[in-house]
Amino acid sequence: MHFVPSTTIIMIVAFILLYVFLNKYAFGPLFGIMEKRRELIQEQITTAEQSRTEAEQFLAEQKAALDQARKDAYEIIEQSKTTSTKQANEIVNTAKAEATRLKEDAVKDIESEKNKAIATLRGEVGELSVKIASKIIEKQVDSKSQEQLVNQYLKEVGGRP
Amino acid sequence: MHLFPVVEFGGIGFDISSILAIVVSCIVVMVLARVAVSNLSVHNPSKVQNFMEWVIDFVHSTIASTMPLQKAKKFVILATTLIVFIFVSNLLGLPLGFVTEVDHDHHGPVTFMGQELLSAEEVDEAHANNEHLAFAWFKSPTADIAATAGLALVVFFLIHFLGITQNTKHYFKHYLEPFPVMLPLNLLKTITKPTTLALRLYANIFAGEVLIATILMLGWIGIPLLAVWQGFSIFVGAIQAFLFTILTFVYISESIVHEDH
């Protein structure tokens, strides 16, 4: 074992120079890059977390919107169903009422025509009877039998509806 | 064993092999680190970048196990430099050896670049004792006690500088704890900590290289043994680099972190 003191000094100087060199040109920059990468990764994690939360929120919103739309559609269908049923009923009722009215009108018309016909007939029959009566009277004036005759005719004519 | 070429300039001895090894280690670490971070990207990291980030994270978690997290951050680059430099240094002596032998019939001084490595008398004496004279020109810088002492001195300086500046009150009080009587022991501890750091690293790596040199003497029979030992040396190199680093930060943490007892 031999000890050369100059080697010790040279070693110290060499080590310090090496440290300065590595600090400046090798590990220093590497350290900076590592720090940057750490920041980048941190940032990416934060961003990913954020977008995940956003996506979840969007999903929830979409789900709610979909549910709302479904509900709305159901309501609209229900509503239109009710409306159509109501309308159908209305139409049927109107038609029924119309038919009834028409029938009643017809019946009334028939009645009035019948009454008119009866009245006319009655007038004519009266006239006719007077004529017949006058003719008979011309032949034989017997008021009693004449009246009886008239009534008999009238009965015969009026009793026939 | 091999001798190490020591030349003198202006009365100061320089161990060429150690200096060469330190310089080569530094250059290898610089080039590796530079290449590894040449293509940094925030969005699309390359495999090398991933590996480097893993190294940094590993070092960071290692330091963080010795001190609070927010304090550990400042030391990550220092710790990474330490661990990578020591690891590369430990491995450097494994694959390469560059040995020059002094012939038996060589007489007179051995010289290198006009400088005397061995005097004529030393050569003659060695020949007389039938010693094998050889110079190793390349080795792990950490296989030299003087080099590991340099690293340990850096650590020693860091421990006390950081302790004094960041934890002033408790740093000085610490020497008198748990009892003022312990002062000599505490002072001794400040010496033994870096000494053990330097010695442990040096001894492990040096022993590994000695064993490699010894196995090489076996010739071709030693090849499987050499393979096994080289593999184990890589393991030892990694363990020692890790140990040096974590102990450094345990010591630093002891001096800068004050815990309420």
CB atoms within 10 A of CB B77: 20
Three-state secondary structure readout of B72-112: HHHHHHHHHHHHHHHHHHHHHCCCCCCEEECCCCCCCCEEE
Quick: pLDDT tens for B46-97. 888 888 888 888 888 888 888 887 778 888 888 989 999 999 998 887 776 6
A26 DSSP 8-state letter: I
Picking from B43, B80, B150, the nearest residue to A8 by CB comes out as: B150
Distance from CA of A24 to the nearest CA of B (A): 10
- Cα(B240)–Cα(B197) distance, rounded to whole angstroms? 10
Chain B residue with CA closest to A8: the answer is B150
Which residues of chain B neighbour A42 with C-beta distances below 8 Å?
none
Q: In angstroms, what CA-CA distances link B4 with B59, B211, B215?
A: 34, 17, 19
Q: Do the chains contact at A4 and B18, CB–CB below 8 Å?
A: yes
Q: B81–A19: do the CB atoms touch at under 8 Å? A: yes
Query: With 60 as the cut, is the pLDDT of residue B202 above it?
Result: yes
The per-residue pLDDT for B8 is 72
| CA distances from residue B152 to B37, B45, B67, B146 in whole angstroms, order as listed | 28, 35, 20, 10
What integer is the mean pLDDT of B240-252?
91
Find the mean pLDDT for residues B120-127: 69
Closest Cα in chain A, distance from residue B29 (Å): 8
State the nearest Cα–Cα gap between A37 and chain B, in angstroms. 5
**Are β-strands B110-112 and B115-118 bridged in parallel, bridged antiparallel, or unpaired?**
antiparallel
Of A1, A3, A29, the CB nearest to B37: A29
* pLDDT for the residue A142: 63
Structure tokens, B126 = 């060695």
Give the pLDDT confidence of A31-48 residue by residue, as tens digits.
Answer: 888 888 889 999 999 999
Give the separation between CA A139 and CA A142, rounded to whole angstroms: 10
Chain A residues with a Cβ under 8 Å from any Cβ in chain B: 1-12, 14-19, 21-23, 25-31, 33-34, 36-37, 40
Q: How close is the nearest chain A Cα to the Cα of B232, in Å? A: 23
A7 interaction partners in chain B (CB closer than 8 Å) = 14-15, 18-19, 22, 144, 146-147, 150
Main-chain dihedrals φ then ψ at residue B122, nearest 5 degrees: -65, -40
The Cα of A54 is separated from the nearest Cα of chain B by a number of Å equal to 26
Structural element, H or E, at residue A9? helix A5-21
Q: Which pLDDT score, from 0 to 100, does residue A47 have?
A: 96
The pLDDT tens digits along chain A (161 residues) read: 577 888 888 889 999 999 999 888 888 888 888 888 889 999 999 999 999 999 999 999 999 999 999 999 999 999 999 999 999 999 999 999 999 999 999 999 999 999 999 998 888 888 888 888 788 777 665 667 767 777 787 888 776 55
Which residues of chain A make contact with B80, given a CB cutoff of 8 A?
Answer: 22, 27
